[in-house]
């Protein structure tokens, strides 16, 4: 096991910059998740870390060694891929021990490591089967076993659960989390699924367009997003974004939401005019509250113990720096309500102003 130090690593293809200067210090035994939309640079960073892709600049160190110019085999890391990469003509036992055999390790030690990995991953009964005789989850366990027996300084995982069905993904991410706690190897995990990132990581690195947007633990990302992108990306369903304006009344700053003046306390809004207010779906409640409004649902999705209520509200558009705009249309409330809600009914929703997130419409930075 080892710490990983990534300093000012960047990657360009000619004039196209796909990874802006990227710096990250990963502690020994830490589970780090790189997450973001397709094309954000997360897989490129993982390939550079693995030695599968040369960096255009910067340095990578694993433990006390600078591995920037070393081949993948010399970095003492193990990778787990989304397509398992198992040899179809070999048994599970042979697949798990293949890398050790190629390194010339003694057979007794190979067998010992295989048995130990099989016990940890609960695949002892499948050691003599071929990959074609296994389910998707079992194949992924074998791929993990092949990485474990290497006893590397770090695991690198590239969307290892993306080929599994939804139920199996939930099960396997719990298994990977438990496995990490058991063996404690430094792990860098890449995914586009923010739920995977939030449930598995010690810290999450959120990326967009080749740049780091925020690095923090899952709770901090959810409660204190640095900017509009992070706020909208983290959370399921995503945060409601409401175009609004700031006015300064006798009792301090206010924002206009749902045609009401909502007082804002404890926030420095000096000079702020164009603001985007964020309101998480779970912060909208059914019934009366500090700020309330009536709405006619456009769509109701029932999940049993809770409901997603979609509704339209007319609102002003606020221009953002990227030339896009945000309007208060297509909002969603996540409410705990087991009784019937008819689509045509008008309902009262409410929220507490303390739960509002505020962002500058031009810089998109959070207004603390």
Torsion (CA) 115, 117, 121, 126 in degrees, nearest 10: -40
Say if residue 237 is preceded by a cis peptide, omega within 30 of 0: yes
Residue 80 lies in a domain: yes
Q: Of 225, 258, 283, which closes a domain?
A: 225
Q: Are residues 114 and 150 in the same domain?
A: yes
Q: Are residues 180 and 213 in the same domain?
A: yes
| Mean pLDDT, range 181-205, rounded to an integer | 94
Tokens at 362, concatenated: 């031009």
Q: Which residues pair with 307 in a beta bridge?
A: 302, 335
Residue 368 lies in a domain: no
Q: Which domain holds residue 292?
A: 229-360
Q: Are 100 and 148 in contact (CB under 8 A)?
A: no
Residue 42 lies in a domain: yes
Q: Are residues 177 and 58 in the same domain?
A: yes
Least confident of 77-81, 88-92, 244-248: 244-248
Question: What is the phi/psi pair of residue 20, to 5°?
Answer: -75, 165
Q: Of 225, 244, 273, which closes a domain?
A: 225
| Mean pLDDT, range 202-230, rounded to an integer | 96
Which carries the bigger pLDDT value, residue 220 or residue 168?
220
Please write the tens of the pLDDT for every residue from 124-174.
Answer: 899 999 999 998 888 988 999 999 898 899 999 999 888 888 888 888 888
Tokens at 139, concatenated: 């194949």
d(CA 233, CA 214): 11
Tell me what pLDDT residue 320 has. 39
Q: Is the pLDDT of residue 217 over 90?
A: yes
Q: Is the pLDDT of residue 91 over 90?
A: yes
What domain count does the chain have? 2
- Looking up tokens 């960047």, which residue turns up? 10
Q: Are residues 59 and 19 in the same domain?
A: yes
Residue 199 lies in a domain: yes
Residue 365 lies in a domain: no
Q: What is the CA radius of gyration of the chain?
A: 25
Tokens at 82, concatenated: 């989304």
What is the phi-psi region of residue 183: left when phi exceeds 0, alpha when psi lies from -120 to 50, beta otherwise? alpha
**pTM, entire model:** 0.87
Q: Are residues 207 and 233 in the same domain?
A: no
Q: Are residues 195 and 262 in the same domain?
A: no
Tell me what pLDDT residue 274 has. 80
């Amino acid at each position: 096991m080892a710490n990983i130090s990534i300093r000012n690593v960047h990657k360009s293809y000619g004039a196209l910059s796909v990874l802006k200067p990227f710096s990250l210090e990963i502690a020994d035994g830490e589970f780090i998740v790189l997450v973001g939309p397709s094309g954000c640079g997360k897989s490129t960073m993982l390939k550079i870390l693995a030695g599968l892709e040369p960096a255009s600049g910067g340095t990578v160190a694993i433990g006390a060694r600078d591995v920037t110019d070393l081949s993948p085999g010399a970095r003492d890391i193990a990778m787990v891929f989304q397509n398992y990469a198992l040899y179809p003509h070999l048994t599970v036992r042979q697949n798990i021990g293949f890398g050790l055999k190629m390194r010339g390790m003694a057979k007794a030690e190979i067998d010992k490591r295989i048995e130990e990995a099989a016990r940890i991953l609960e695949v002892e009964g499948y050691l003599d089967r071929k990959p074609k005789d296994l389910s998707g989850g079992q194949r992924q366990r074998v791929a993990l076993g092949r990485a474990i027996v290497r006893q590397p300084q770090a695991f690198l995982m590239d969307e290892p659960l993306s080929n599994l069905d939804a139920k199996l993904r939930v099960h396997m991410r719990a298994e990977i989390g438990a496995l990490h706690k058991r063996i404690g190897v430094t792990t860098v995990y890449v995914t586009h699924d923010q739920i995977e990132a939030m449930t598995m990581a010690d810290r999450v690195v959120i990326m967009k367009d080749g740049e780091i947007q925020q690095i923090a633990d899952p709770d901090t990302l959810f409660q204190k997003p640095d900017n509009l992108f992070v706020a909208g990306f983290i959370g399921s369903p995503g945060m409601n974004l409401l175009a609004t304006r700031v006015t300064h009344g006798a009792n301090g700053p206010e924002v206009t939401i749902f045609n009401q003046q909502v007082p804002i306390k404890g926030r420095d809004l000096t000079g702020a005019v164009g603001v985007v207010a964020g309101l998480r779906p779970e912060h909208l409640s059914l019934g009366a509250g500090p700020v309330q409004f009536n709405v006619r649902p456009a769509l109701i999705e029932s999940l049993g113990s809770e409901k997603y209520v979609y509704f339209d509200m007319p609102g002003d558009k606020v221009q953002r720096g990227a030339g896009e705009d945000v309007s208060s249309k297509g909002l969603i409330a996540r409410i705990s309500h087991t009784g019937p809600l008819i689509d045509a009914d008008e309902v009262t929703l409410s929220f507490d102003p303390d739960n509002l997130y505020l962002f500058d419409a031009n810089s998109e930075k959070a207004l603390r």
